[in-house]
């Protein structure tokens, strides 16, 4: 009987630490990120004082959650600041954005936003090409579960890939990152002079785009 007791006690000594470890929740990469964020909140809120170093450190911490994640800061307004968590338009990184946003703490000076939000389109210069947002026209047509969008851009040349990059940047501004990746199908770019009469200003695209999905 004593030998049985000894074996059982040895078994408990082995199992108890394992059971305790299994029962404890592990810290997720998202939780680790927010722990770091809170510990560096002052430097992040005033990132202009050391922009490059702060952004490098922030990027490194976000990439521990997912290598595709990126960020945007809003301007200081009444002692508050927006922090945007973005997948940089990469659909496979969307779950990481959702997880990071869900784990965000409540901090008085911050508003956390998941995915780049809709904003009034602004002029873009990229790859030596400048496009005035106000001169861009757009047309959206529903095809199945998504909408195909045609952008009509002044000076467009299909031999210059910069126009394609600018088109997607403009769409991200107008429709927001999430809708561009989940509800936009084909994106076409044509010269401004080919715009039909029913094409609208890029700034008017969001409401017309949303109306396409109202009845779905």
Tens of pLDDT, residues 160-204: 999 999 999 999 999 999 999 999 999 999 999 999 999 999 999
> What is the pTM for the complete model shown?
0.80
pLDDT at 206: 96
> Locate tokens 């869900």: which residue?
102
Q: What angle do CA 189, 208, 162 make, to 5 degrees?
A: 20
pLDDT in tens, 77-93: 999 999 999 999 999 99
Would you list the domain boundaries of the chain? Answer: 29-114, 124-211
Whole-angstrom distance, CA of residue 31 vs CA of residue 10: 36
Distances (CA, A) of 25 to 21, 100, 102: 8, 17, 17
Residue with tokens 């800061």: 73
Token pair recorded at residue 135: 């001169």
């Amino acid at each position: 009987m004593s030998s049985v007791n000894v074996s059982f006690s040895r078994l408990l000594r082995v199992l108890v630490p394992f059971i305790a470890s299994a029962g404890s929740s592990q810290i997720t990469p998202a939780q680790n990120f927010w722990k770091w964020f809170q510990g560096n909140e002052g430097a992040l809120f005033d990132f202009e004082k050391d922009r490059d170093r702060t952004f490098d450190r922030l990027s490194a911490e976000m990439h521990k959650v997912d290598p595709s994640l990126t960020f945007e800061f809003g301007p200081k307004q009444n002692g508050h600041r927006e922090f945007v968590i973005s997948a940089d338009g990469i659909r496979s990184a969307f779950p990481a954005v959702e997880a990071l946003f869900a784990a965000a703490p409540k901090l008085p000076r911050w508003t956390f936003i998941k995915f780049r939000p809709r904003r009034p389109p602004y002029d873009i210069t990229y790859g030596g090409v400048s496009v005035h947002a106000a001169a861009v026209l757009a047309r959206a047509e529903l095809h199945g579960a998504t909408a195909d969008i045609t952008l009509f851009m002044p000076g467009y040349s299909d031999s210059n890939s910069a126009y394609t990059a600018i088109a997607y940047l403009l769409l991200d501004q107008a429709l927001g990152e999430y809708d561009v990746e989940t509800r936009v199908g084909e994106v076409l770019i044509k010269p401004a002079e080919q715009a039909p009469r029913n094409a609208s200003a890029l700034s008017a695209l969001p409401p017309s785009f949303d109306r396409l999905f109202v009845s779905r």
